[in-house]
Amino acid sequence: MDPVLNDFQPYLLGFAYTLLLFVFAGVLSTLLGVVLVAMRVGPVAVLRAAGATYVTVVRNTPLVIIFGFFTFVAPIFGVKFGWLDIRIGDVVLDDLFGAAVVALSLYTSAFVCEALRSGVNAVPLGQAEAARAIGLPFGGVLREVVLPQAIRASVPPLASVQIALIKNTSVAAVFGVAEAVAQMRSFTNNFSSERTGIFIMFAIGYVVIVEVFSFGATRLERRYRVAT
């Protein structure tokens, strides 16, 4: 543990990247997941099929392959993130960071969609039919009646999906993002005799992040349960 404690800045920098990846990908995947679930439960057959195909393909594709596509293959077809160059202190959000956010967002959105769809299925069908009876269009029914209740019912599975996202950010280390695992690898390369302590320090960092998020999700779940 001493190498990390004696040079704490890279440790903090690594988890700063991890948290930024989680925040950006978490928000984008949730928004895309809402769009996907609207497609999957909507009345248009083509959109239902497209949503189902997307979810099936992405869920069955290893995350490493999606990362590799946006890092190495997508630029060949003109999908580049070279325009991204944001500096926040020692944190640099560049093209590799942008590719990582897109890969994580697209991958996680498929699981967000399925978590939300389970919540939609928990909403009594009669409520949607009543909303349609008073003249609400499909978009209005989904926005005003179904989704608010579906999100409440989906808090536990959505929390699990986001916790998985926190851990999936570690894949970005393989593709040039200096997040926590990349920093851990640097420490272990420089201090091979201290590997166990270094592993423990970085594991503690992940546990703290996951536990803080889990605590917030649990509080939100209890609040919705009481409100219901």
- For the chain, the structural domain boundaries read 16-175
What average pLDDT does this structure show over 38-55? 92
Most distant pair of Cα atoms in the chain: their distance: 70
Within 13 A of 184's CA, how many CA atoms are on the CB side?
23
| Alpha-carbon separation of residue 213 from 3, 98, 163, 209 (angstroms) | 28, 23, 8, 6
What average pLDDT does the structure give for the chain? Answer: 89
Of 116-125, 148-157, 160-169, where does the model show the most confidence?
160-169
Listed residue (18, 59, 165) closest to 104, CA to CA: 165
- Per DSSP, helices labelled H in the chain are 2-6, 8-41, 45-59, 63-68, 95-122, 125-133, 138-141, 147-153, 155-168, 180-190, 195-227
| pLDDT, mean of residues 41-49 | 90
164-215 pLDDT, tens digit each: 999 999 999 999 898 999 999 999 998 888 889 999 999 999 999 999 999 9
- Whether 177 and 97 have beta carbons less than 8 Å apart is answered as yes
Average pLDDT rounded to a whole number, residues 215-227 = 78
Query: Does the pLDDT of residue 162 top 60, yes or no?
Result: yes
Q: Which CATH superfamily is domain 16-175 in?
A: MetI-like (1.10.3720.10)
Confidence of residue 226 (pLDDT cuts 50, 70, 90): very low
Q: How far, in Å, CA of 53 to CA of 158, rounded?
A: 21
Judged against a pLDDT cut of 60, whether residue 9 lies above it is answered with: yes
Query: DSSP assignment of 202-225, as one string?
Result: HHHHHHHHHHHHHHHHHHHHHHHH
Average pLDDT, stretch 21-25? 96
Q: Provide mean pLDDT across the span 36-62.
A: 93
- What pLDDT, on the 0 to 100 scale, is given for residue 172? 94
CA contacts within 13 A on the Cβ side of 32: 19
Indicate the pLDDT class of residue 225, thresholds 50, 70 and 90. Answer: low
Segment 122-143 mean pLDDT:
77
The structure's pTM equals 0.91
Instruction: Reply yes or no on whether the pLDDT at 228 is more than 80.
Output: no
CB count within 10 Å of CB 116 equals 27
Over residues 56-70, the mean pLDDT reads 95
Beta strands 86-88 and 91-93 are: antiparallel
Contacts of 122 (CB under 8 A, 6+ apart): 149, 150, 153
